[in-house]
Structure 1
Amino acid sequence: MVEHPVVRGGIPLLIIAIAVFVLHRLSLEVNLADVRADLAAANRASLILAVLSTCAGFSGLAMYDVIAARALTGTTVPSRIAALTGAAGYALSNLLGFSYLTGTALRYRVYAGLGLDLATVLNLIAFSWGAFWLGLALTVGVLLVFHPVGLSGVLHVSTPVEIAAGVVLLGLLAVVLARFAFGRREIATSGHVFTLPTIGQSMALTAAAVVDVAGSALALYVLMPADLTQNFSLFFIVFVLSIALGVFSHAPGGIGVFEATLLTGLGAGGRSDALAALLLYRVIYTGLPFALTVLGISLVALKSRRDLLLSATGTMRRLVQPTAPLIASAVALAAGTVLLLSGNLPAVETRLELLRDFVPIGLVEASHLAASVAGMLLLVVARGLFRRLKSAWILAIVFLAVGLLASIAKGLDLEEAALMAGAILFLLLFRPAFHRVPHSAPLRLGWVWFASIVILLAALTWIGVFAYKHVEYRDALWWQVSWSGDASRFLRASLASAVVLSVLALNSLIGVRGTRHAAEPIPSCVRHLVSASPNAEANIALLGDKCFLIDPEERAYLAFGDTGSALVTQGEPVGEPEASRNLLWQFREMADREGKRFVFFGVSSTYVETFLDMGLAVVKYGEVGRIDLQSCTLDGPSMKDFRYARNRAAREGYTFEIVARDKVPAILDDLRRISQAWLRVKSGKEKGFTLGRFDDTYLSNFDIAILRAPGDSGEIVAFANILKGAQVELSVDLMRNRPGCANFVMDALFGELVLWGKAQGFEWFNLGAAPFSGTARHELASIWQKLGGLIYEHGDKFYHFEGLRSFKEKFHPVWSPNYVVCKGGVGIARALLDANELISGGLVGLVRKEP
């Protein structure tokens, strides 16, 4: 139910609706002039303290990553890089409010550049999140116990109850710390094994968290009127609740929700000085760190372009470059917000007067409207920038240019124009970070993004209503055109912005839903890329049951299938890495455009960075085993079955033979009879998509390994088609034998194949995937990992999962994780069902026997 888009979008919208209503009620007796006066009268010492508190808070945020990186990687990640990454990440998330924009993806991009794998990065992030909750529990617990009357000021509970709540909170904290001190150092979840901090590291992380939460709270505390902050415990509890509701609302930076909750909790309704303090807090704690982050990244880019030979600068640029789409999205969002906010507030009269003699009133009116519409479009296109779309980059430049010119023409807003120019410069600096994705939809809205924009627009519109509350509403305001018609311009701009957003949302909702993609003939470029690929499993693309996305320059392709409601890839793209990344985004765009689910099925960790950029869940589905042929032999206890089978087959006169693919048509009838007989005695039906099936055209693409019976007949008793990966990797797909023949023939055939591959100079023998192998069954593992472990242990009734892993384990292979990538939540279960529909024809096909 929670996964339904109406629910996901409706709950945040309900929260913001309540927040806007509360803000409106609380500010009925406040006017804009009073707020401006309070801003002008702000105490300089308080401003300095707020800045210092912000610095302290961000030092705590930076220390999360420093401590975690040192604990998990030693000196692999320099402390300076870890500190900058942590601080910059939180500067972006504080502004945007979208954790998926600045959490895992940002850190993975930076740390992957230093050689860290996905599991280590996730472990590092878990350290940071755990530290925050430890620090929050300690701070709140101490305040409740030693300085009560915090909860009682909000929930009207007695002091003893409040002290008891604090004791319970501190007790739980002590239990957690004891677990770190005396418990196991590792837990398994989401298919990964995570290291827990030591007691010393936990204490250090908790201390950093206390600095973080205290700094962020003190930055607002010193700005608020003294009579509202006499009880710090009450203030802190209200502050924490305000942040929590702001995060849950999905509003960028929690705007509107945070303010409404805090004013209500502190009883600050009708206080212009409290509103002014909140505005200053937004500028200092949210705006200042974000501006410094953007400035710092821009300076690194400029310096590295000026002197690419400096190794230190080159390293910094290599780490910064991948974060550009994240920050560009934030820049576009901030620029759009500035344009909308400016359009909702009165113009500076002295500047407007200067325009009277040079600019016609019609141009001023049109510029005001254009600036607000450009601001709205920037909010929408920010999503496309995050998705690295070149089309979004071009549109953002255009909208920023419109905003720049309109800012000057509508009222000589030079500061606003300078911000637009700075945003354009930033996007130009990082042009290579945005890729051309054919048929992309840069103005398409997802539910979460749409809800966030609506929330932001509602908050900004409330600011306009608040600014013009002294103007009596009348219908004539909509049509009034005059130099003093700020309220009229606000109404028209708000309506235009809402109309633009509604049209884009409607277009995204009804979209062009594509028909079901039919299987395509295999293009010649796909055959070429398959033959050049070192991955033997790329040959499955030749099965004839897939569609293809192909790079315009034919450098890469992505094979996929269509269930009618979902697009599912057969593994990851094959070809050049950069072209492959573009195809991943193009596939996502195509699914969005057609209104279908999308699944990246059976992928490795190669493109995890891109999947995280998309905000998707990366779930371990199993493991792929590969034999190192250079060191492989049939000696040793674990290989005795294959050694025995090979030796016995030789003694009894069985012969191993490789049939070249141009000779395969001559033996297809014999192979078909073996295959049909084999299927009749096996559970399940002929599979497809990621598993080969008996098909004359498909098998004619490969050399075939066969085992012939002794005697003059020399009939074929077993066969396997050979998949080759550019003389690097070898694998087999169909491997079948005639029922009733000697029980050692399959082991003999496999043993001969392994030794043949070694003799031919192949480096690896790909044993294929072991589904659900390696999935975690720990009590702390995710529900999907537990389910995978359950299927692996008890699913033999339907498919020999555990037996498959045991068979492959005899060769002592190198195991690597195999992932399913899709939207989180129940989307994971849907993804597995979608993939199974293409492979087995649905759940019935998984267990049904071939007639």
Structure 2
Amino acid sequence: MKKISQWVVQHKTLLKTLFVAILSIIVSAELLSIAKTISFEQLATLFKETPIWRIFAMVLIGLLAILPMSGYDFTLKKMLQLDYKPLYILETSWVINTINNIAGFGGLVSMGLRSEFYGKKASKEIFSALTKILLFVLSGLSIYSFISFAAIHFFHANDYLKQYWPWLVGGSLYFPVLYFVTGLKKGGLLGGLERKFRMALLASSFLEWTGVVVSFLSIGYLLGVSFSIWEVLPLFIAAIIIGIVSMIPGALGSFDVMMILGLSALGIEREVVVLWLLLFRICYYGIPVGIGMIFFFKHIFKNFDEKYEGIPKQLTLEIFHKVEAGLLYFSGIMMVLLATVPQAFTDFPWLSHLNPFRFHIVVQFPSILLGFTLLIMGRGIAAQVKRAYWPTILLISTAIIYSFVIDFSFITIFYLICLLVIVIVSKSELTREQFVYSWEWLTIDGIVFGALTMLYLIIGVFQLPELPHRSHRFMSFFLLPSEKIWLSGFVVISVVAACMLLLVRYLQGPKKKIAEDVNHTDVQTILETYGGNSDSELVFLEDKSVFIYRNEDEPTVFLQFSTINDKCVVMGDPSGKPEDFADAVDAFIQEADRWCYLPVFYEAREEMVMILHDFGYDFIKMGEEALVDLDTFTTSGKKMRGTRAVLNKIKKEGYYFDVLQPPFSNETMAALQDISEEWLDGRKERGFSLGFFSETYLQRNPIAVVKNAEDEIVSFANIIPSYTKEIGTIDLMRHHPTKAPSGSMDFLFIHLFEYMKEEHIQYFDLGMAPLANVGQSRKSFLQERIASLVYSFGSHFYSFQGLRDYKEKYASQWISRYTLYSRDSWIAYVMIALLILDNKPIDHDSK
């Protein structure tokens, strides 16, 4: 006997496995035998006849029945004095208990999961505490075993049920023995548990098994089954006890066989019993564990995300956001097509499989309206606009409810619920305060909306069921359209268009531009403290907006820009403290993004290319800037022979160079304005990248002039500071068409070079030669070739090559200038925006 006992101990794992395997085979054979007696057609009919609201009620009760099990985890928290938040406890409890319900294995799975979730903060005491919890899990079942035993003896239960009294007695004894032992022992795995914790665990266990019982019985009542609770309860509890003893995960099979046989013996049809058990498995086990797996993977992902500093979460949300926007567009297009060309979904099976909606879910007009609304919300979501969130939630929820009421479809509802979940999960990606409809988005949406609208007018309305059947060929519809058809289409499209406009207007919100009026004090402080560049002085023309970056409340950098459509076009490089340029650009991009604008950086230098590359910006070369090295410049040599001849001739005619200092008299300003107007010859002045005649602007700095022998000004150029000794330049350069001698510009330039050299300035900036050496090679970037084509075609004010050739004779070196733009912008539209801004006439009356 002793040898047998030792052999059993040594091979207990093998014996346990064999026991479970043999029992599983027996149960499987019994299930197959039962299956032969069941009509699956009747089972399917019973399910279809069950009202959907009852199915929902079953699911809700099943979910609520899981909640009491969180009591174990809150008790564990108090036992080990853990500092986890309640939400974390609820989520982890749901994961642990729902997975354990499916897996079983005597509660070992719950111990392992709890050790994983809580063990890091209580590694020493965790095993002892989990063992005590595991022992109390069945205490509530023990109480129900006693109630069931009493029921079959005192409530005249069916004789069939009395055969289970030994199992119920055994279950009833579990809790009293456990409570006595744990109260008696003062230490070890079974002792040392305070009375308040024993009572808390008992309460949690009783509520857990109450939830199981209520969930099972409620499903029976909702299916319309007539039964006595005092008969079903003992059978249910006995089946659970036998299932636990069988050690089969989730008691799958053993419990079901007992319930099918037992409930059938109580006079309930087997098909009804099978449906009852199936819905119980789904509502109490399946759906809750599905939610539990979501929480489980959330926990794993959170740890993974923390390990890699939040990058996985950011990438996942970005992917979710793109999928969300794509699905909204896809849904809208499918709904419009479904109402417009329903026959296509019948004739082309692949299209029918692709479509998540059923034809009868909505009639044509609501489908058209819902489809286009989804498209607009798709655009709002794609634009990351906060105001799109709740309308999208409402729209999808309405579609879900409508599908339930009008034409229930699991595929449609599942698809819409998934879409709703994605919208909710990716809410944090909606960061913009308003919606600005960019030219790029208008182009895409215009193609989609236009194509769908025309398709509806030409085909959809023609096929509306309420219209009389037309026997003529389809082509005649194009040639001789019915007034009724076109009127119906016009009404539908008008209503849809009005709704779309209202939605777009709602998304736009209160129009706001990221603009500040020019604060002369702050701007002047920045320039005088940190310096500027050859474009900085243009800010005082006040034809552009200003963004001022403050480092610890001290203004250190400013950018000047103009807004057109959704593009904030920054003129030149930032001005101010170079060390803060990257932070200033970052702040500007973030502020622009918040209000749904995309910055474009125009005529920026290579240093800005490097900074903006880190922000994901693309760039194209816009031209070259000519610099004259004043230390090495000379008019001697063969190259300047023609220029010397012109200078000598002008000088002999009595013309001379002078630099006037502000403030200027009214007479001087009148003379300069007269020259400017004659030079313009009726043309409108332009701004943005160029200066224009403004008395306030001209009064700020010295003006270089050429005068004739009568001391009359015939040419002038205003000198603008770069606030450094490195570069000097001018802005307006104008001459009188008849009074200025030929070559007066060269005369002015040469003397300006000499003047600035005396001021110890190193370089003279001759300005840009737009599109110089841009897109000329077949190997050039496609963007640069497109830019060159658009800019060259659209500009009527420059002879680009002539300007390049003129500056070439003075330039010592050429500095490349670039335009940088977000990858969300199309280069053609960027160039159009630049073309509009560069050629926009200045309204002097508003200055």
Q: TM-score range by the shorter chain?
A: 0.3 to 0.5
Compute the TM-score of the two structures, normalised by the length of structure 1: 0.43
Q: Give the number of the structure with larger relative contact order, counting CA–CA contacts within 8 Å between residues 6 or more apart.
A: 1
Q: Between Structure 1 and Structure 2, whose CA radius of gyration is higher?
A: 2
Compute the TM-score of the two structures, normalised by the length of structure 2: 0.43
